[in-house]
Amino acid sequence: MRTYKIALLPGDGIGREVIPEAFRVLQAVEHSVSGFHLDPHEFECGGEYYLKHGREWSSEAEEFTKNEADAVLLGAVGGITANGESIRRPDGHLAGYSVVIGLRIELELFANVRPVKLYEGVPTPLANKEYHHVNMIMVRENTEGLYAPQDEPSRASTSDMVIDKRVITKKGSMRVCDHAFSVASKSAGAPIDGVKRVTCVDKSNLLAGCQLFRRSFDEVGERYPDISRDYAYVDAFTQWMIRRPEYYNVVVAPNAFGDIITDLGAAIQGGLGMAPAGSIGTKHAVFEPVHGSAPKYYGRNVSNPIAAILSAAMMLDWLGRKHSDSKLQAASSTIEECVKAVLEEGSIRTYDLCIDRWKSVTPSSTTEVTDAIIKRVKEGV
């Protein structure tokens, strides 16, 4: 039986509520599926930690996360001071930056995979769309582009004029596009027609970096003759995504555009409380819900734990594929099935999902939702 070392980094705010809940689900599934063991190593990190210790995490946490862990489960970073200001480092970056952005860059987690799936029983703001219309996987470039750390502030910048550099490379574009095509090859295709399709979302009518990104997309696409190639400019894409989400299967985009369209994706899948993610590289991966630390909700036991629980399921799936361990993949599917069953049944849900058809449902707490999922895991859905 193989043991997998998991770095648990709850971070700040509601990260501290949802990560322990996700781990409770992992333990339940380890028990019910059996045949593998998860060995958790929990560390503090982020803004709150920075306030106390003057650094974003301990050297022990950093060392374990980068060199020892088989996978990382991260909550969210971003704390606020007593007077409500966000906690920042002297360089102006959010305290916790080296944990989130730093890990993505240093561990070369080049593909940020964000499934946009609407489960039955979850409200969507899209009129006339049912749960089976929304099931796409967004793959965001995660190591370069507009969000990569700048080596030095541009010398041309002044206090009245700032230049943000956007570096896009062929290597970075090829590897993220390859990841997207490989995800598509294992998928069931787009809801509308079952066609395995990858859509390249860029602004190549204007930007040279996007032209390189699209050329790389085409070059990689040649290696996947069975997968259909599709193109959209990011501005037009936002309206197509709302009008005909069922057309999309896998979507790949440069970093900043990917950041924006994945929040739009979260909205149509029922909100940030429903949106899981994984930052994936060749050797390492960090799984974290798309949502942030939402400090004002911390300590109230009201936040939706499902995004974190589904991120934990993605982690098991990734570990299972990497180590050819079918037990982990079975455990991942079990979690997803149990989440699905709870949502479909309808009576246990956090406040964010108590709208539309479900507005008369009394909101459940974070722990009640987790308990309902665990009960299903124990009972076998």
Q: Which residues bind ligand IPM (CB under 6 A)?
A: 100-101, 147, 259, 290
CA distances from 212 to 111, 180, 255 (A): 17, 16, 14
Q: What is the x/- site pattern for Mg ion, positions 254-283, by CB under 5 A?
A: -----x------------------------
100/315 with CB nearer ligand IPM:
100
Q: For ligand IPM, which is the closer residue by CB, 30 or 259?
A: 259
Comparing CB distances to ligand IPM, the nearer of 33 and 139 is: 139
Q: How far is CA 176 from CA 16, 32, 144, in A?
A: 31, 35, 11
Smallest distance, ligand IPM to C-beta of residue 147, A: 6
Q: For ligand IPM, give the closer residue by CB, 95 or 377.
A: 95
**Tokens coding 227:** 């997968």
Task: State in angstroms the smallest separation of the CB of 263 from Mg ion.
Answer: 6
Piece of the chain touching Mg ion by CB under 5 A; list 19-27, 30-38, 104-112, 252-260 = 252-260
Amino acid residing at 53: H
Pairing of strands 278-280, 285-287: antiparallel
267: Cα separation from own chain's centroid: 14
Nearer to Mg ion, 61 or 275 (CB): 275
CA angle, 363 as apex, 358 and 369 as ends, to 5°?
A: 105
**CB of residue 248 vs ligand IPM: minimum separation in angstroms?**
19
Spatial strand order of the sheet with 135-141 comes to 36-42, 2-11, 71-76, 285-287, 278-280, 111-117, 135-141, 250-253, 197-202, 228-233
Question: How far is the C-alpha of 283 from the C-alpha of 170, rounded, in Å?
Answer: 20
Question: Between helices 306-322 and 15-33, what is the axis angle to 10°?
Answer: 50
CA geometry: angle 161, 163, 165, nearest 5 deg = 175
Q: Residue 131 touches which of Mg ion, ligand IPM, none (CB < 5 to 8 A by kind)? A: none
User: In the complex with Mg ion, which residue's Cβ is closer, 62 or 259?
Assistant: 259
From ligand IPM, Mg ion, none, interface partner of 213 (C-beta below 5 to 8 A by class): none
Site map 205..244 versus Mg ion, x via CB under 5 A = ----------------------------------------
Smallest gap from residue 375 Cβ to ligand IPM (A):
31
**At closest approach, how far in Å is the CB of 221 from ligand IPM?**
26
Q: Quick check: helix, strand or coil at residue 156?
A: coil
Partner that binds at residue 217, options ligand IPM, Mg ion, none, CB closer than 5 to 8 Å by kind: none
Separation of alpha carbons 282 and 322, rounded Å: 9
Q: What is the C-alpha to C-alpha distance for residues 5 and 289, in angstroms, rounded to an integer?
A: 20
* CA angle, 324 then 262 then 354, to 5°: 100
Candidates 52-60, 68-76, 158-166, 251-259; binding stretch for Mg ion (CB under 5 A)? 251-259
Min separation Cβ 267 and Mg ion, Å:
12
The residue ranges that bind Mg ion (CB under 5 A) are 259
